[in-house]
């Protein structure tokens, strides 16, 4: 019995230049997943209803030309609507856009920003925003069992790589302003929160987005705890006054949570 299924072209790397006195640049990685009644191709290999993933790739390019340098969320929604409207068997389209940031160097010159990548997929978001506080973080009073060896920490480095997604209320939000405000609210909350646990910081960051951007009704956050362990310098006759750390790769703590507005509408298929 065939269960849920979908297909599409992943990672179409398209760069859109808008030429004027100053050139504008959009640098995207676009992925598409289409679903609907596609049982024929699964069961018998009949492809009448299968719009090739190559065609989907072409459509990304054509829409990049037609729509110009719009916000990535606008692009994603227009592309998704196109497939649902025109491909007979397709009843649902999921379009994901990662936008890589570039800083302007001149009228037609740019430097890749690195750092946070803006994401969207019906919901908005970002990932790879790496933040660090050198103090104002502790971790104490935690549960203990027979396997617990961790010492309480009264002052620790707190570092994370923010992955966030936010769901909007209305049909036509200001995506660019929402993105900027949500990003800033998360940064401010991270900087301004005296942290007793990373969960608490997570909740503060999610709440700050809801407060700063009323059009957002739900925030999902995944925060790896990028451990910075104090090095024991005592064998060398030195005191480590919270100065020298080993930045560990693996394992790491991973804290995931959702913060909702009290009046958040049902998500429908937004997250799936």
Residue 134 binding a second copy, by CB under 8 A: yes
Residue 211 binding a second copy, by CB under 8 A: no
**Residues noted as catalytic:** 9, 53, 227
Report d(CA 157, CA 251) in Å as an integer: 17
270 in Cβ contact with 230 (< 8 Å): no
Residue 187 binding a second copy, by CB under 8 A: yes
Q: Segment contacting a second copy (CB under 8 A): 57-65, 71-79, 118-126, 170-178?
A: 57-65
- Find the shortest distance in angstroms from Cβ 98 to a second copy: 12
User: Which of 71, 156, 195, 215 is in the footprint of a second copy by CB under 8 A?
Assistant: 195
- Find the shortest distance in angstroms from Cβ 196 to a second copy: 3
- Find the shortest distance in angstroms from Cβ 139 to a second copy: 7
Comparison of 82 and 174: residue with beta carbon closer to a second copy: 82
151: Cβ contacts below 8 Å, ≥ 6 apart? none
Residue 33 binding a second copy, by CB under 8 A: yes
259, 265, 268, 271 alpha-carbon torsion, rounded to 10°: -20
Comparison of 115 and 177: residue with beta carbon closer to a second copy: 115
Place of tokens 């997929």: 121
- Find the shortest distance in angstroms from Cβ 15 to a second copy: 4
Within positions 226 to 255, which residues make up the interface with a second copy, using CB under 8 A? 228, 231, 233, 235-236, 238, 240-255
Question: Interior CA angle at 266 toward 161 and 180, to 5°?
Answer: 40
- The end-to-end CA distance of the chain, in Å, is 22
Comparison of 11 and 154: residue with beta carbon closer to a second copy: 11
In whole angstroms, how far apart are CA 206 and each of 10, 159, 178, 268?
Answer: 29, 17, 14, 20
Token pair of 146, please? 């027979």
User: Which of 91, 196, 211, 265 is in the footprint of a second copy by CB under 8 A?
Assistant: 196
């Amino acid at each position: 019995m065939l269960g849920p299924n979908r297909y599409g072209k992943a990672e179409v790397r398209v760069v859109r230049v808008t030429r004027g006195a100053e050139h504008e640049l959009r640098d995207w990685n676009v992925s598409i997943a289409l679903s609907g009644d596609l049982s024929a191709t699964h069961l018998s290999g009949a492809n009448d209803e299968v719009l090739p993933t190559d065609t989907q790739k072409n459509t990304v390019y054509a829409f990049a030309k037609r729509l110009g340098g719009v916000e990535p969320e606008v692009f994603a929604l227009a592309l998704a609507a196109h497939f649902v409207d025109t491909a007979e068997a397709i009843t649902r389209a999921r379009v994901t856009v990662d936008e890589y940031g570039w800083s302007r160097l001149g009228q037609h010159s740019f430097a890749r920003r690195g750092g946070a990548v803006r994401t969207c997929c019906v919901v908005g978001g970002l990932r790879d925003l790496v933040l660090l506080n050198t103090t104002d973080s502790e971790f104490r009073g935690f549960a203990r069992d027979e396997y617990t060896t961790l010492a309480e920490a009264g002052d620790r480095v707190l570092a994370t790589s923010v992955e966030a997604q936010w769901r909007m209320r209305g049909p036509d939000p200001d995506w660019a302003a929402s993105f900027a405000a949500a990003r800033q609210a998360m940064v401010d909350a991270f900087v301004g929160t005296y942290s007793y646990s990373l969960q608490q910081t997570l909740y503060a960051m999610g709440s700050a987005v809801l407060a700063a951007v009323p059009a957002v009704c739900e925030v999902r956050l995944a925060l790896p705890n990028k451990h910075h362990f104090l090095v024991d310098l005592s064998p060398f006759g030195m005191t480590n006054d919270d100065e020298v750390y080993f930045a560990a790769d693996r394992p790491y703590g991973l804290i995931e949570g959702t913060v909702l507005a009290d009046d958040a509408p049902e998500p429908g298929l937004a997250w799936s």
